[in-house]
Amino acid sequence: MASLATGPSRQRAHSSAASISISSGSSDGYFDSDDEIDYVRKQQQKEWEEGMEQLQVLVSAVLIPVLGKWFGRRWSGWLFDRYLRLGLGKTFFFGEALAAFIKLPVSKLS
């Protein structure tokens, strides 16, 4: 009785085996003509372009904002430390070395 079972799994196995035998019936290899080769190449190119588009969306929607947030926080921390150390004077904008070079009055560098 087990050999007479015609459940869905047995029918699927039979239909997939039939499709394999039909597609592999060519005599010159995997493909029957150049049209099939061109079709497969176009499909592969389409899949490649879709993958690249998904990668581009991932980078622009996830990676760039995360990196921007991280760099923004580092930059603001650096600026705040500089403000606490130098104040909001000429040395804050021009730097300590340039202030010493052009002899700007530096009040908080002591």
Which amino acid type is present at position 62? V
Sign of CA pseudo-dihedral 25, 48, 61, 75: positive
Sign of CA pseudo-dihedral 91, 94, 97, 100: negative
For residue 18, is pLDDT > 50?
no
Residue of 71, 55, 48 lying closest to 40 (CA atoms): 48
pLDDT of residue 109: 54
The tens digit of pLDDT for each residue in 38-93 reads: 999 999 999 999 999 999 999 999 999 999 999 999 999 999 998 998 888 878 88
- Domain limits of the chain? 35-110
For residue 104, is pLDDT > 70?
no
The answer to whether 32 and 26 are in contact (CB under 8 A) is yes
Q: What pTM was estimated for this model as a whole?
A: 0.44
Q: What is the DSSP letter of 108?
A: S
